[in-house]
Amino acid sequence: MGSTVKLMTGVVRDQVRGLATMVFYVMETMIFAVPFYLVAFVKLIIPVPSWRLFWSKVLRRVVDVWMYFLNLPQCLNRKTRWVIRGWEDMSRVNLCKSCMLMVNHQTWVDIMVLVKLFYRRVPDFKFFAKRELLWFPLVGLAMVAADYPMVKRYKKAFLEKHPHLAGKDLELTRKACEKFKNMPVSVFSFVEGTRFREGKHRKQHSPFTHLLKPKAGGVSLVLGAMGDKIQNILNVTIVYPEGVKNFWEYLCGKVEEIRVHVEVLPVSRDLIGDYFNDAQYRQRFQLWINDLWLEKDRLIDEMLQWEQTRSLEVS
């Protein structure tokens, strides 16, 4: 009887924790929405590059403070054990130079993991957002004002009926990245294009055990569009040894341990080229990213066997 009561008390406590954290996130976002949209409106009303560049900097500071409070519950949560390796390589990252984070994707919790680990340790975050979000009230304006790359992805069946649109999504990616040439940013790329699911894995006939097939075209275009502005690629691998949890379970403190491996790779000249028109470069780049994914797949097997006593913890 006592163990049952204790179990029920723990469940209630976790649910209260999750609800309190969710309320905190909602209230925080509502508070910061006021200055955010005021600055966004001031920025967008005058289409002068110097004007918009100044207010973009102000807007980034507003977002920076918002992300600090977004990250606060994660810093206070001691129920999740963070085990990190390769963290010493982060000393090579220059905050005045752009970088790209290439990450395996399993759950929306991945985004919270990235925010916790890399907030203020890399330049301003930039996520690729679906172009359809432009039609959402307030959200679309926020994405445009914050200079998030808006891209449109066409499904294979749609392209078969409209072949003239082939490559259009990648071209939009290239144009979206051009605006980052004058500011240091961290471009987040979930290279698989979507979250890992067993059904998707089988449908793709993926040659990897833990990963979907990587999409080389988008990564190549980002590197090509930003050129030498990107100094490093951060190859980030995330593993949940107790199983993948959803966002609500994370808020409730049900993610017992998160393991992350960070590898900082230089951007060599061989990685930059014309993906569409240079067949040799395209083949070389596809081989490079597939080799990277093979190593990541092998690394995930290794990470699942990490001995906790030999791991480095980062709070």
Tens of pLDDT, residues 39-98: 888 888 888 888 888 888 898 888 888 888 888 887 766 678 899 999 998 988 888 889
Mean pLDDT over 90-108 rounds to 90
Nearest to 188 by CA among 215, 163, 217, 219: 219
Task: Give residue 225's pLDDT band: very low, low, confident or very high (50, 70, 90).
Answer: confident
Task: Give residue 310's pLDDT band: very low, low, confident or very high (50, 70, 90).
Answer: very low
By CB neighbour count within 10 A (0-12 exposed, 13-18 middle, 19+ buried), where does 8 fall? Answer: exposed
The answer on pLDDT for 35 being more than 60 is yes
Same domain, 38 and 145: no
Give the tokens for residue 83: 């085990």
Nearest to 106 by CA among 275, 279, 241: 241
Q: Element (H or E) spanning 201, and its range?
A: helix 198-204
Same domain, 57 and 160: no
Task: Give residue 315's pLDDT band: very low, low, confident or very high (50, 70, 90).
Answer: very low
Same domain, 85 and 145: yes
Same domain, 31 and 167: no
Q: What does the mean pLDDT of the chain come to?
A: 83
Give the tokens for residue 179: 């605006």
pTM for this one? Answer: 0.84
Same domain, 37 and 153: no
Token look-up 């100044």 returns: 54
Same domain, 62 and 90: no
Give the tokens for residue 74: 């994660």
Same domain, 65 and 110: no
Looking at 25, 56, 76, which one is the last position of a domain? 76
By CB neighbour count within 10 A (0-12 exposed, 13-18 middle, 19+ buried), where does 48 fall? Answer: exposed
Say what the alpha-carbon torsion angle 91, 222, 97, 287 is, to the nearest 10 degrees. Answer: 40
Same domain, 85 and 72: no
Same domain, 71 and 202: no
Q: What is the DSSP string of 80-100?
A: SEEEEESGGGGGG--TTSEEE
Helix 216-226 and helix 168-178: axis angle, to 10°?
A: 30
User: Cα 35 vs. chain centroid, distance in angstroms?
Assistant: 25
Same domain, 32 and 127: no
Q: Which domain holds residue 93?
A: 80-313
Looking at 45, 76, 107, which one is the last position of a domain? 76
Rounded to an integer, what distance in angstroms lies between the CA atom of residue 259 and that of residue 239? 5
For 113-155, write each residue's pLDDT tens digit: 998 999 989 998 887 766 666 666 666 667 777 777 766 665 6
Long-range contacts of 47-54 (CB under 8 A, 24+ apart): 53/182
The answer on pLDDT for 209 being more than 50 is yes
Q: By the 8 A CB rule, do 225 and 91 touch? A: no
CA contacts within 13 A on the Cβ side of 169? 21
Q: How many domains does the chain have?
A: 2
Same domain, 40 and 96: no
127 versus 260: the higher-pLDDT residue is: 260
Which amino acid does the sequence have at 18?
Answer: G
CATH code at 234? 3.40.1130
The answer on pLDDT for 307 being more than 90 is no
3-state secondary structure of 265: strand
Helix 216-226 and helix 279-303: axis angle, to 10°?
A: 110
Same domain, 183 and 61: no
For 146-199, write each residue's pLDDT tens digit: 777 766 665 666 555 656 555 566 666 677 677 777 778 898 888 998 899 999
Looking at 43, 76, 109, which one is the last position of a domain? 76
Judging by DSSP bridges, how do beta strands 185-190 and 124-127 pair with one another? parallel
